[in-house]
Amino acid sequence: MKPSVRNKATLCIIALSMVLTLVPAAVPAPVSGGELTIVYVGDEPKVLDAQVDPFDSAAMVSALLADELVAKDKAGNFQPYLASKWSVSKDGKEWTFTLRRDVQFQDGTPLNAEAVKFNFDRILDPKTQSGQAADMLGPIVRTEIVDPYTFRVVHGSPYAPFLDSISQGFIPIWSPTAIKKYGPDEFERHLVGSGPFILQEYHAGDRFVLGRNPKYAWAPKIYKHQGPAYLDKVTFRFVSETTTALAAFRAGETDMLIRFPPQNVSDFRGKPNFQVLTAPYTGSPVLYVMNISRPPLDDIRVRKALEHAIDQVQIVKVLYKGEAVATKGVMYPGSPCYWKGAETVYPHDVNKAKALLDEAGWKPNAQGIREKGGKTLQVTLVNAFVQDLGPIVQAQLRAVGVDAKIDQVPGPIQLERAGNGEFSTIFQHMAYSDASVLDMLYNSKNLKPGGWAWTRYKDPKLDALLDQSTVTVDQTKRCQLLVDAQKVIVNQALVLPLFGRQQIAVATQKAKDFGFGSRPNVDLWLYDAYVEKP
């Protein structure tokens, strides 16, 4: 057993997959023309406008139709986009953006500070019923037009995730003219942005057809070329049934499947007619949250024993044939501010786990299950989402004498249990772009109805670190705070990390130079994409 080697191997795979993402697929020069049909395995956005809809699928399409104020490159750095430059005041509360003067929305409306203010105000207006965008903007007190091409946002308190938020498809800048023209109910059917693609057809429940914006001339430097996109047309379909999506792909009805089911990837890997592109998500990985307010997990020795008992590499191999990222960290290894040290704190070590349980007074009975004071060492694994996960974790815990009961419940029941603390361990996964995900999941102020701090750990020191990280705009200082927070979370053994998921695209060889950005759940890069023989 060499856990450290395993972890290194995992990291190598992650690094390799990142490098592969960056390397262009083919050498011939891109040509204009042709079309791609893309099937997204999942539900269609109910409202295509990501200023309103809270789901990734809406942000993914919105980002192709509209531009954002700033861009985020694959390395995670912010680059000019609609804003040619920006600055933040010393107190971290005022963000000032200087806008490009050459940008036009697809309906001819010019982009200026007034248009950007209109969009921000729309997102913040409760009548818009923004599902996620409004929260992502932070504690905004007011928005200002400084001059026709200078726009300012004033926060009540410094808000570190701000640049990341406004660089996402959730904050697309739409044409104010079109928003006013179509009204709140109909605008999402007639989205008009300044992006490289134009929304041409909207067939609710079936497909969206995007066409090229011939006037596009303001691509950010994160892409390879300038000028209009290469593709004439992109058709998006949303298929929630995995089997149906796979059948459509095998029948040649679509050129690409995104959010491809990991367990099926091996059918296409290494086949000459197909290409597989993976990009790990960021945020909080798939894990079991431990309820530290209830026995037996109120004892840190038991929690640490569980950490040592879990073999993440085996789980990934059995569940997904290796198409996921095994991790012992409380953040995805590719996340900003990820603490690498987490991977080595609890190496998979059955003997160490047993020793810790012995120390805590839990002794094995005749069946090998541990007991103390007449009670058996029992934990529940509450899980509504990944059905096959329970039995593997159960077997690994059984190997050290823990009797794990699988509690397969419907989604709403799981959330109810999480809320009222009726569990010993409970499934959680939060793919999230910004490191503020830690604040969301571990700050004890978020142990409230609808909140996500399920472990019930209350520690003023951890809360202070997380509070501080949210208001620290300086990224280096902020990361230090977040790394310190991760150390507390890992050392207290608050969760059982398992693995990180990946965005997976499987495509025929027709599609070239498509890719995922640093947030692969929403950044589908099609601007540089082309087809070989249009």
Partner 1 sequence: MLQYVGSRLFSTFPVLLLISVFVFSIMHLLPGDPAMLILQGQYATTPEQVARLRVDLGLNDPVYVQYGRFLAGALKGDLGRSVQFKRPVMAVILERLPRTAELTAAALVIAVAMGATLGIVAGVRQNSWVDNFSIVLSVVGLTMPIFYIGLLLILLFTVKLAWFPVTGGTDLHRLILPGFTLGFVSSGIIARLVRANLLEVLRQDFITTARSKGLADRAILYRHAFRNMLIPVVTVVGLQIGGLLSGSVITETVFNRPGLGRLAVEAILWKDFPLAQGTILFTATAYLMVNLLVDVSYAWLDPRIRYS
Binding site residues, partner 1, CB under 8 A: 37, 39, 43, 46-47, 52, 54, 126, 129, 131-132, 135, 184-185, 188, 203-206, 237, 239-241, 243-244, 247-248, 250-254, 411-412, 415-416, 419, 430, 432, 440, 446, 448-452
Cα–Cα distance between 367 and 343 in angstroms, integer?
Answer: 32
Helix (H) or strand (E) holding 243: helix 242-250
Closer to partner 1 by CB, 205 or 373: give it.
205
To partner 1, the closest distance from the beta carbon of 446 in angstroms equals 7
Largest CA distance in the chain: 79
To partner 1, the closest distance from the beta carbon of 5 in angstroms equals 37
To partner 1, the closest distance from the beta carbon of 505 in angstroms equals 17
Tokens representing residue 230 in the block:
């290469």
Closer to partner 1 by CB, 191 or 377: give it.
191
To partner 1, the closest distance from the beta carbon of 206 in angstroms equals 5
To partner 1, the closest distance from the beta carbon of 131 in angstroms equals 6
Instruction: Measure Cα distances from 32 to 228, 237, 268, 529, 534 in Å.
Output: 9, 23, 28, 10, 8
Closer to partner 1 by CB, 248 or 300: give it.
248
Cα–Cα distance between 5 and 2 in angstroms, integer?
Answer: 6
Closer to partner 1 by CB, 431 or 494: give it.
431
To partner 1, the closest distance from the beta carbon of 459 in angstroms equals 20
CB of 392 closer than 8 Å to CB of 499? no
CB of 413 closer than 8 Å to CB of 369? no
Beta strands 403-408 and 378-383 are parallel
Place of tokens 């569940």: 319
Cα–Cα distance between 121 and 165 in angstroms, integer?
Answer: 15
Q: Where are the beta strands (DSSP E) in 138-281?
A: 140-147, 150-155, 197-203, 207-212, 233-239, 256-258, 274-280
Cα–Cα distance between 113 and 83 in angstroms, integer?
Answer: 10
What is the identity of the amino acid at 51? Q
To partner 1, the closest distance from the beta carbon of 195 in angstroms equals 22
To partner 1, the closest distance from the beta carbon of 314 in angstroms equals 30
Closer to partner 1 by CB, 184 or 336: give it.
184
Closer to partner 1 by CB, 54 or 280: give it.
54
Closer to partner 1 by CB, 139 or 534: give it.
139
278-311 residues labelled b (16+ CB within 10 A) or e (exposed): bbbbbbbbbbbbbbbeeebbebebbbbbbbbbbb
Closer to partner 1 by CB, 237 or 303: give it.
237
